[in-house]
Amino acid sequence: DAGVTQSPTHLIKTRGQQVTLRCSPKSGHDTVSWYQQALGQGPQFIFQYYEEEERQRGNFPDRFSGHQFPNYSSELNVNALLLGDSALYLCASSSLGRQFFGPGTRLTVL
């Protein structure tokens, strides 16, 4: 049984560009949450998707958007990238309980 997978592992972008990160949840999980973890900090909640809808959202600007597909996989999109968007982006999946985290995507914005 594969755990939570994320792609790509690493990504380098320049300011102003757009990026899409992908997440495949653990088998049987229907809920996907996204977190941003800056270097040396704890993860910060971005938003959560359930039944293809954004169910709750953290304190992030509209430049951050997402999508969930019928197979429960999810994408995180970030537009107009800023230097401060450089971070590890974590995806976590769950189903009425414990969240399991993927290994993350390391985004570097130059």
Question: Minimal distance in Å, beta carbon 11 to another protein?
Answer: 15
Question: Minimal distance in Å, beta carbon 16 to another protein?
Answer: 28
Question: Minimal distance in Å, beta carbon 33 to another protein?
Answer: 7
Q: Which two tokens stand for residue 36?
A: 């941003």
How far apart are alpha carbons 10 and 37 in whole angstroms?
Answer: 14
Should residue 41 be labelled a site residue for another protein when binding is judged by CB under 8 A? yes
Considering only 12-20, 61-69, 71-79, 100-108, which stretch makes contact with another protein by CB under 8 A? Answer: 100-108
Site for another protein in 9-38 (CB under 8 A): 31, 33, 35
| Residues whose CB falls within 8 Å of the CB of residue 17, separated by 6 or more in sequence, listed in order | 81, 109
Site for another protein in 47-86 (CB under 8 A): 48, 50, 55-56, 58
Q: Is 41 exposed, middle or buried (0-12, 13-18, 19+ CB in 10 A)?
A: exposed
The Cα angle at residue 45 between residues 7 and 69, in degrees rounded to 5: 45
